[in-house]
Amino acid sequence: MKIHARFLGLGLGGLGLVGASLFSGAGVASASTNWSKVTSAKAGGGFKALVAAAKKEGHLNVIALPPGWANYGELITTFEHKYGIKITSENPNGSSAEELASLKSESGTSKEPDVVDVGPSFALLGAKEGLFANYKVQEWNQIPADAKASNGSWFFDYGGYISIGYNANAFKGNPPTSFASLLKPEFKGAVALDGNPTSAGAAFGAVYTAALANGGSFSNIEPGLAYFSKLAKAGNYVPVQSSPAVIESGQIKVNIDWDYLNAAYAKAVKGKVNWKVFVPSNAKYASYYAQAISKNAPDPAAARLWEEFLYSNEGQNLWLKGFARPIRLPAMQKAGSVNKKLLALLPPVSGEPKFPTQSDLAKAQTLVASQWPTISSGSAG
């Protein structure tokens, strides 16, 4: 499943912005407007001009968007009904690598994806290979600087924080409150990760978060590896893949995972397990996906309108409905435009997310790959 692999790796990027002709007043683009070169709605004649051009195209190609992932099913149908634009969804369970491969193999055809939703490392790779168009949505200034390429070739869209989920009924007297608390004897054989840190983004994020909780930093993941070594030797860590089924069966009682997945698990086991979730206040590690528009999009106006829709309050709240934290969430909270009922389903987190650099991640991944096999072997028994 792409749910794990697509989250591995984060990065930064940036170039310059190329301008286009500006049409003011009525907001109508020239008949000769080349939407594949337009870098903002304003540069194409305004939002109304963009809508008109997208409706004229009447079609949009997307890829690797499972209907149940981050509420993409509702996002797609809402966009179709709102603008009368038909969406073709290719390979919904595909990976980020497959998305970039499709941009290349179907380049110049009507089947080429107009837009992609990829893991950050793949956003960097796609930009490096010149696969993306530069475009800045109207809410561009509300996307943190370290969450976008300065030229608009890619920009983070939604994601989550590593959290601790637990069976509240199993620990009524002494529930977990931090990473440190999970080292206590009462958590023996109880703590699981969502996969293997050498290949699964959620599990890798758990090690990074443990590092932050134990004096480490984005440039120093070793305290996180030392932490899990202690957890394994204590017999508290169990190498069981987390899922609603194993939570319901009682095989695991604590799960270190993305907050939107732990929140989804709480919903899935409601009435059977009292599953609680929190993001440790002293260790905030976030990972987000990235949007990008194909440089050779067959439906360039519709591609740009899709991005405008995703970054509007409506689109951001629909992602939130799928338990994913939209990138504009801090700004929306300040403006009062976030759906508070949906936000209440996620554990509270204050401040804007911060991200490690690509070099930080490369170093961290190398250390995890070399040390984890020895650490995980200590969990037996």
Any domain includes 151: yes
The dihedral sign for the CA sequence 236, 241, 243, 249 = negative
| Residue 370 sits in the same domain as residue 316 | no
| Tokens describing residue 226 | 């030392």
Tell whether 350 is covered by a domain.
no
Buried b (16+ CB within 10 A) or exposed e, 223-236: bbbbbbbbbbebbb
Clarify whether residues 166 and 108 are in a common domain: no
Q: Are residues 123 and 67 in the same domain?
A: yes
pLDDT at residue number 25: 35
Q: Per-residue pLDDT for 22 more than 70?
A: no
The owner of tokens 């009062």 is 336
Q: What does the DSSP assignment read for 23-41?
A: --TT----TT--TTT--BT
| C-alpha angle 257-157-177 in degrees, rounded to nearest 5 | 25
Q: Is the pLDDT of residue 23 over 80?
A: no
Question: Is 35 in the same domain as 154?
Answer: yes
Here the tokens at position 107 are 């380049």
Q: List the alpha helices (DSSP H) in 234-299.
A: 244-249, 259-268
- Is residue 351 included in any domain, yes or no? no
Rounded distance, CA 166 to CA 270, Å?
13
Q: Could you tell me if 234 and 365 lie in one domain?
A: yes
* The pLDDT value given to residue 4: 39
**250 and 291 assigned to the same domain:** no
Q: Is the dihedral of CA 359, 365, 368, 370 positive or negative?
A: negative
Range of the domain at 272: 161-285+356-377
Q: Say if residue 217 is in the same domain as residue 326.
A: no
Both 363 and 231 in a single domain? yes
Question: What are the tokens at 262?
Answer: 């732990």
CATH number at residue 21: 3.40.190.10
Percentage with pLDDT > 70 across the chain: 91
Between 287 and 183, residue with greater pLDDT: 183
Within 214-326, where are the H helices? 222-233, 244-249, 259-268, 300-310, 313-321
212 and 187 both lie in a single domain: yes
Distance CA 11, CA 240 (A): 30
Task: Give the count of domains, the chain.
Answer: 2
User: Is the domain of 165 the same as that of 241?
Assistant: yes
- Contacts (Cβ under 8 Å, ≥6 apart) of 344: none
Q: Are 236 and 316 members of one domain?
A: no
Write the pLDDT tens digit of every residue in 222-273: 999 999 999 999 999 999 988 899 999 999 999 999 998 899 899 999 999 9
Residues 98 and 170 in one domain: no
**Would you call 11 helix, strand, or coil by DSSP?**
coil
